[in-house]
Amino acid sequence: MPYVESLRVFVRTVELGSITAAGRDNRLTPAVASNRIKELENRLGIRLFNRTTRKLAPTEIGRQLYDHARRVIEAIDEAEAMVAGFSEKPRGAIKVMAPLGLGRRIIAPLVPAFNELYPGIEVRMRLSDRKVDMFAEGVDVAFTLGELQDSNLKVRLILECRRVLCASPEYLAAFGTPVSPEDLLAQHHRCLLLRYPGSPEWNWVFETGKGRLRLNVAGPYDADEGDVLTDWALEGYGIVNKPCFEVAALIAAGRLVPILESTPPPPSKFACLYPHRRLQDPKVRLFVEFMLGRCRARVQELLDAPAG
The verdict on 101 and 51 lying in the same domain is: no
Same domain membership, residue 288 and residue 214: no
Q: Are residues 237 and 251 in the same domain?
A: yes
Residues in contact with 76: Cβ distance below 8 Å, sequence separation at least 6, in sequence order? 4
- For helices 60-84 and 282-303, the axis angle rounded to 10 degrees is 80
pLDDT of the chain, 308 residues: tens digit per residue: 577 888 888 888 887 888 888 888 777 888 888 888 888 888 888 888 887 766 788 888 888 888 888 888 777 766 666 665 555 577 888 999 998 889 999 999 999 999 999 999 999 998 887 777 777 677 889 998 887 665 667 888 899 999 999 999 999 999 999 999 999 998 889 999 987 666 655 689 999 988 999 999 988 888 888 899 999 999 999 999 999 999 999 999 999 999 999 999 999 999 998 876 655 678 888 999 999 889 999 999 899 877 65
Assess whether 42 and 76 both reside in one domain: yes
Contact between 188 and 160 under an 8 Å Cβ cutoff? The reply is no
**Residue 211: what are its φ and ψ, rounded to 5°?**
110, -165
Residue 246 falls within a domain, yes or no?
yes
pLDDT score of 24: 80
Say if residue 256 is in the same domain as residue 222: yes
Does residue 275 sit in the same domain as residue 150?
Answer: yes
d(C-alpha 76, C-alpha 102), whole Å: 32
What is the SS3 assignment for 163? strand
Please tell me the distance from the alpha carbon of residue 246 to that of residue 233, in angstroms, as a whole number.
Answer: 13
Same-domain pairing of 65 and 143: no
- Predicted TM-score (pTM) of the model is 0.68
Residues 170, 262: one domain? Answer: yes
Q: Is residue 150 part of a domain?
A: yes
Domain final residue, candidates 63, 84, 105: 84
* HEC readout, 124-156: EEEECCCCCCHHHHCCCEEEEEECCCCCCEEEE
Q: Which of 77, 91, 117 is nearest to 275 (CA)?
A: 77
CA 162 – CA 83 distance, rounded (Å): 42
Identify the domain boundary among 84, 111, 140. Answer: 84
Range of the domain at 262: 163-266
My answer on whether 292 and 273 are in the same domain is yes
Whether residue 241 is contained in a domain is answered as yes
Q: What is the CATH number of the domain that holds 75?
A: 1.10.10.10
CB 247 within 8 A of CB 230: yes
As a whole number of angstroms, the distance between CA 187 and CA 171 comes to 14
The enclosing domain of 100 has a CATH number of 3.40.190.10
pLDDT of residue 277: 64
Check: CB of residue 95 under 8 Å from CB of residue 139: yes
Give the DSSP H/E element, type plus range, for residue 78.
Answer: helix 60-84
Which helix (H) or strand (E) segment holds residue 206: the answer is strand 204-208
CA distance 151 to 148: 9
**Which CATH number goes with the domain that contains 259?**
3.40.190.290
Domain presence at residue 308: no
When divided into structural domains, the chain yields a total of: 3
Measured distance CA(171)–CA(238) in Å, rounded: 7
Contact between 237 and 262 under an 8 Å Cβ cutoff? The reply is: no
Specify whether 183 is located in the same domain as 148.
no
Residues 133 and 276 in one domain: yes
pLDDT at 85: 53
**Same domain, yes or no, for 53 and 177?**
no
**CB-based contacts of 31: which residues, under 8 Å, 6+ apart?**
none
